[in-house]
Amino acid sequence: MMEETISKTALARKLLLDFWSDFSQHSIAEFTNYLQENDLVEIKQTHINSAIRTASQLGVLKRVGRGKYEAGSNFHNDLDIPVKKTVGIRFVLQQTKRVLSIPINIMGLSPKEREMIPRLQGLYTECEKMLEELEKAEVENEISE
């Protein structure tokens, strides 16, 4: 009887998606350490390299430096990604807040565009509030665990 098994490269790819789903930059060495800490030593460096190369080619990971990667533009399109909703929501809110904090030269804006400034300021404030709520909920969850 043949057992259904997942190839080591496919397993590395699945774990890679889980590892990078925090949307932070990580090195290949950090990923390798993660595998070792979780007793997944049967996954060799060749499997890891193959999984990372494929993920990079598909835009799931983006190279940000020598041996460093972060979630790429196609990261969310991959159906195998575990849903870490709070992390994803926080990432979107932080990026939105960062973009909204960029100074705008109002002299170059049309009257219609100027009308949007208070709404954008409100959106920035709303992002701040939501980030605070997420942080507060996380602290409460840590205490209850």
Indicate whether 71 belongs to any domain: yes
Q: Please tell me the number of Cα atoms within 13 Å of 83 on its side-chain side.
A: 2
**Confidence (pLDDT) at 97:** 85
**Confidence (pLDDT) at 129:** 92
Indicate whether 113 belongs to any domain: yes
What CATH number should be reported for the domain holding residue 37? 1.10.10.10
**Confidence (pLDDT) at 86:** 62
- Nearest in space to 71 (alpha carbons), one of 47, 37, 95: 95
Say whether both 12 and 71 belong to one domain.
yes
Say whether both 94 and 73 belong to one domain.
no
Indicate whether 2 belongs to any domain: no
**Confidence (pLDDT) at 54:** 87
Indicate whether 127 belongs to any domain: yes
* pTM tops 0.85: no
Buried b / exposed e along 69-84 (16+ C-beta atoms within 10 A): bbbbeebeebeebeee
Number of domains the chain is built from: 2
**Confidence (pLDDT) at 2:** 35
**Confidence (pLDDT) at 119:** 92
**Confidence (pLDDT) at 93:** 80
Whether the CB-CB separation of 19 and 34 falls below 8 Å is answered with yes
**Confidence (pLDDT) at 23:** 78
Indicate whether 102 belongs to any domain: yes
**Confidence (pLDDT) at 20:** 83
Whether the CB-CB separation of 19 and 69 falls below 8 Å is answered with no
Indicate the Cα dihedral angle 139, 18, 71, 41, nearest 10°.
120
Query: For residue 95, what are the domain limits?
Result: 85-144
With a cut of 50, list the residues of the chain below it in pLDDT.
Answer: 1-5, 79-80, 82-83
SS3 of 22, please? coil
Question: Where is the domain boundary, 21, 46, 77?
Answer: 77
